[in-house]
Amino acid sequence: MSYLQFQPGKKTSKIQKKGAGSVRKAFSEWLIENHGSDYETTINKQRARKKATQFKASIDSVKKDKPLVGIVGGGFAGLYAGLILQSLNIECEVFESSKRVGGRIDTWYSTKYDSKNKDTAGLYGEVGGMRIPQFSDDMLPVQQLALSVNAALERNGLQDQALIWRKFYYNSPVQRLRYNNMKAPILAENVNLNPLNFGVDKGGDIAMVWLTEVQLSKSETFLPINKILDKVNEPFIKAINKSFSKGFKKLMKFDNFSMWAYLTNVFTLGDLGEYYNPEMGKKSDFLPYNIASYLETLNVGTGMYSVSFVEIVLATYDWHGSKNSYDATDENIYMVTIDKGMQHFPDACRTILNLDTGILPSDGYRAQILTGMTTGIDGYYGYSPNNLTAAAKPPSSVPSANAPTPISGKKSHKKERVFMNHRVTNVHYDEDLYNGHGGMKMTIKNDDKIIKKQYPFVISTLPNGAYLSGELKTNFFDKLSFAKARAIRECNYMPSFKAFITFKNQFWATLGERQDKGLGVAVSDKSNRQIVYPSYGYDAKGGVLQIYCWAQDAERIGALSDEERVNECLKGIQYLYPEVKVYEEFAGYKPEETTKTWFWDNHANGGAFALFKPGQFKNLYPTLLTPEFNGSLLLAGECCSVHHGWIVGALDSAYNAVLNILKQADAKDKIKQMEETWGSLSSPDVALKKRKLKRKV
């Protein structure tokens, strides 16, 4: 039985949804239900303690000018937690160490950028997150947030900051690929039967039996090597689709394996089934090193197969969320990005947080309907956000949402809650605060000033590497539990590198002739890996190409000087465009005007996003979610979710943190209001409820 993210008793759309992307939510719940015994024990003790001391009074006892929650970090987790609390009339303060909000959502703008000039309006690129799948059930809260923010902006006469989604062109049949000194690049539409010079007869290291065309039927001609991952994923995908509980149990048997270890120590040639050929070796043999290397090179990047096998398999599901969930026959990829740069998104969130009254329940509820998170007033699901550019409009197979008329509400006055250039250097627990309930003390640096704060609760949203404060004699956290300290230390982050390079002419557009449909991403085996073509600005003469790579490729290119990084990128672009005089087209090395390179980040402290290694889902994920210090300290951020590397992971974790605070305070009315406004995001408490139901039975 497939997992569909529908509300019990509600009608489904006349056009049945696929439930694309919802597997991550089920996985989160399954992990807590099956590997969260410590989480459950600790959290129940914390809540029992609060109830025993009548902690419910804490929300009412903290005065209006004494915020209940201090939030460390102005990335999406911190901003979202703040917006939820603001919508519940619970005061909070957000402290951001840098000059901007957004964390790892960060847009680079050339110094020549001008949104009103068509020739310079495209001179920007996304240093951080750059896209979201449009129809994924898991990702819809991101669009719901944008619509909710827009409603609050409009109510306050701030429509100029409204968030508009434009289409992000992820792939195309004419995107280029080139490997192993091929004479020339080839197009994606011609890649399936091309051995890409990996065969021994072309100087490679893979036996030709893997790279020789096979025809099983008139409709199926293939290279055996390109069928391996289908067979690797197939048993788990089938098992999960049949039964989530049994499927995840099957998958988690291999949680202690990396993707590389699974390919070379578990998967056998016999597992290829109908694609097996005796010339490959014995059926009991494992895949050779060279085959694993090929799969890693073409599908991810150097060294990325060292991460958890489970992480890689689940990533396969994520891409289903990029497809039309209302039409199973639609194989197109649908992604969107914020018009004029993703940085506008966190900036708009900050604007709303700095108002006395922000997002109303009616704003959030209507946004849920418009994005398809819940059914409309007619009882059916639909999708019709009013903040899409023409190219981002859904296909005709997607039904419209039937939402109630928006409630205008009243304009609000300003109230500062987000404090910029405020760097938190120490957070520690004091059990004597708040009449023995306990609370957190915080030390903050603002220029040369030292600020002291205290709160019943602190939500810390920093990347784990940022908990090394760098301060003399002072730790960021003191006296963390062994489990939490280990989880923060061991949680794996993936390095990432990006570069933005301006060219005098958009030679890629002239050659590609797909200005109306986008060019997607070009790929090679050079260290710079990918060219991400812009999804905008094709009516200008010049433009920006973005280079993107991860893991060991990123580490090596990141170790160079800034100008050396640009040089490597130019060589990679020339490799993919041998017919173009790339160096002559280059607008020149002028940092921030024509070029920008980014490797990790001093605020990310050692990695672009979490990507778990073997065993970390079972052993670290529940621990990261467990509050510390009798529930007074909660961690959030995409590492505290199963949506690693996605904005929705930050939202999910923030929602969980706020819900935990409300549960401790036994604030049932606030919990109901939160669900009405923001929906029911994936929460560990869902798994706990399931377990209790099973025990009753």
Q: Does the residue 148 lie in any domain?
A: no
pLDDT digits (tens, 9 = 90+) for 498-549: 999 999 999 998 765 666 678 889 999 998 999 999 998 888 999 999 999 9
Give me the pLDDT at residue 562, please: 95
Pair 513, 625 in one domain = no
Give me the pLDDT at residue 603, please: 63
Pair 190, 287 in one domain = yes
Q: How far is Cα 71 from Cα 177, in angstroms, rounded to an integer? A: 45
Q: How many domains are contained in the chain?
A: 3
Whether residue 135 contacts residue 323, with contact meaning beta carbons closer than 8 Å, is answered with: yes
For the packed helices 37-52 and 647-664, what is the interaxial angle rounded to 10 degrees?
A: 40
Pair 476, 621 in one domain = yes
Return the structure tokens found at 392.
């981002």
Whether residue 477 contacts residue 504, with contact meaning beta carbons closer than 8 Å, is answered with: no
Query: Considering 599, 628, 660, which residue would you say is the last residue of a domain?
Result: 599
Query: Considering 236, 271, 299, which residue would you say is the last residue of a domain?
Result: 299
The 3-class secondary structure across 429-466, one letter per residue, is EECCCCCCCCEEEEEEEECCEEEEEEECEEEECCCHHH
Q: How far is Cα 526 from Cα 532, in angstroms, rounded to an integer? A: 14
Domain range for 509 = 496-599
Low-confidence residues of the chain, pLDDT below 70? 1-22, 50-65, 318-321, 511-516, 601-603, 682-683, 686-697
Q: Which residues of 575-594 are buried (b: 16+ CB within 10 A; e: fewer)?
A: bbbeebebeebbbeeeeeeb
The SS3 assignment for 426 reads strand
Pair 574, 548 in one domain = yes
Q: How far is Cα 325 from Cα 191, in angstroms, rounded to an integer? A: 27
Give me the pLDDT at residue 403, please: 94
The SS3 assignment for 357 reads coil
Whether residue 270 contacts residue 276, with contact meaning beta carbons closer than 8 Å, is answered with: yes
Q: How far is Cα 140 from Cα 648, in angstroms, rounded to an integer? A: 8
**pTM flag (> 0.75):** yes
Give, in order, the Cα–Cα distances in Å from 186 to each of 196, 391, 482, 523: 9, 28, 53, 10
Pair 483, 507 in one domain = no
Backbone angles phi, psi at 239, to 5 degrees: -65, -40
Give me the pLDDT at residue 515, please: 60
For the chain, the distance separating the N- and C-terminal CA atoms, rounded to the nearest angstrom, is 22
Share of the chain above pLDDT 90, in %: 73
Q: In this structure, what DSSP letter does residue 404 have?
A: P
Catalogue the E-assigned strands of 456-550. Answer: 457-460, 493-494, 496-503, 521-524, 530-532, 543-550
Listed in sequence order, the DSSP H helices in 439-546 are 482-490, 507-512
Residue in the block written with tokens 């605070």 = 661
Give me the pLDDT at residue 9, please: 31
Q: Does the residue 154 lie in any domain?
A: no
Whether residue 311 contacts residue 493, with contact meaning beta carbons closer than 8 Å, is answered with: no
Q: Does the residue 285 lie in any domain?
A: yes
Q: Does the residue 337 lie in any domain?
A: no
Return the structure tokens found at 199.
């065969």
Give me the pLDDT at residue 266, please: 98
- Listed in sequence order, the residues at least 6 apart from 10 whose beta carbon sits closer than 8 Å to its beta carbon are 374, 375, 379
Give me the pLDDT at residue 245, please: 80
pLDDT digits (tens, 9 = 90+) for 74-114: 999 999 999 999 999 999 999 999 999 999 999 999 999 99
Q: How far is Cα 77 from Cα 374, in angstroms, rounded to an integer? A: 23
540: alpha, beta or left? (left if phi > 0; alpha if psi -120 to 50): beta
Largest CA distance in the chain: 77
Pair 512, 481 in one domain = no
Pair 241, 267 in one domain = yes
Report the run of H or E that residue 95 belongs to, with start and end. strand 92-95
Pair 486, 500 in one domain = no
- Listed in sequence order, the residues at least 6 apart from 204 whose beta carbon sits closer than 8 Å to its beta carbon are 180, 195, 197, 198
Pair 506, 582 in one domain = yes
CATH code of the domain covering residue 650:
3.50.50.60
Give me the pLDDT at residue 459, please: 98
Pair 207, 270 in one domain = yes
Q: Does the residue 649 lie in any domain?
A: yes
Give me the pLDDT at residue 51, please: 65
DSSP character string of 116-163: TSTTTTT-EEESS---EESS-TTTHHHHHHHHHHHHHHHHTT-GGG--
Give me the pLDDT at residue 672, please: 95
Q: Does the residue 42 lie in any domain?
A: yes
Q: How far is Cα 654 from Cα 643, in angstroms, rounded to an integer? A: 13
Q: Does the residue 394 lie in any domain?
A: no
Triad 124, 128, 131: Cα angle to 5° = 80
pLDDT digits (tens, 9 = 90+) for 211-255: 999 998 888 899 999 999 999 999 998 888 788 788 888 999 999
Whether residue 302 contacts residue 256, with contact meaning beta carbons closer than 8 Å, is answered with: no
Whether residue 212 contacts residue 223, with contact meaning beta carbons closer than 8 Å, is answered with: yes
Q: How far is Cα 259 from Cα 267, in angstroms, rounded to an integer? A: 10
Q: How far is Cα 543 from Cα 120, in angstroms, rounded to an integer? A: 8
| CA dihedral sign, ordered 561, 566, 570, 572 | positive
Pair 242, 200 in one domain = yes
Query: Considering 299, 324, 342, which residue would you say is the last residue of a domain?
Result: 299
CATH code of the domain covering residue 507:
3.90.660.10
Pair 194, 291 in one domain = yes
- Listed in sequence order, the residues at least 6 apart from 347 whose beta carbon sits closer than 8 Å to its beta carbon are 100, 101, 102, 161
- Listed in sequence order, the residues at least 6 apart from 58 whose beta carbon sits closer than 8 Å to its beta carbon are 50, 68, 434, 437, 456, 665
Return the structure tokens found at 66.
């004494």
Whether residue 309 contacts residue 614, with contact meaning beta carbons closer than 8 Å, is answered with: yes
- Listed in sequence order, the residues at least 6 apart from 173 whose beta carbon sits closer than 8 Å to its beta carbon are 187, 188, 189
Please choose, from the candidates 447, 456, 457, 454, the residue with its C-alpha nearest in 3D space to the C-alpha of residue 419: 447
Q: Does the residue 378 lie in any domain?
A: no
